[in-house]
Amino acid sequence: MKLTAAELDALMLPDSDNRILLQLEASLQGLKEKPDWMLGSLFQLMERHADYDFGSPGGIVHFLEAYPRLEYETALIASLKRRPTTHTAWMLNRLINGTSDPARLALLDTMNQLCQAAQQDVREEARRFVAFHAKPRQ
């Protein structure tokens, strides 16, 4: 399965069948280069399918996390501003876990902003992560 930007932007994932996702993940694994356009397109796919189980973390997340850190972080935050999902909030939490201050504080601020998200499931997930990070670090 080789996708163009337009095809990826139009891709729909049926809830009852994960074959398309598995094919997409296999295609991503086979890529030698990471096209710039793919960052935004994959985040938009997650936004369109907010309730879809992309795995934990799943092939798409592994693919995205392999981009240069600043590019990945910028694209993730843009996605969270457009249409936060529980999966992208979880991805932000993964970033927070691997980040030191002062950059960590900015990411925590973004997570705090998600606590005001329109979708209840995103608010609850963000609050859970904020509470976790409020505990003293050991």
Token pair in block for residue 93: 């939490």
For residues 60 and 54, is the Cβ–Cβ distance under 8 A? yes
pLDDT tens digits, one per residue of 76-126: 999 999 999 999 999 999 999 998 889 999 999 999 999 998 899 999 999
Tally the residues of the chain. Answer: 138
Residue 129 neighbours by CB distance under 10 Å: 21
Average pLDDT over residues 59-78: 94
Q: Measured in Å, how far apart are the chain's first and last C-alpha atoms?
A: 45
* Residue-range domain boundaries for the chain: 5-134
57: left (phi over 0), alpha (psi -120 to 50) or beta: alpha
| Percent of the chain topping pLDDT 70 | 94
pTM of the complete model: 0.88
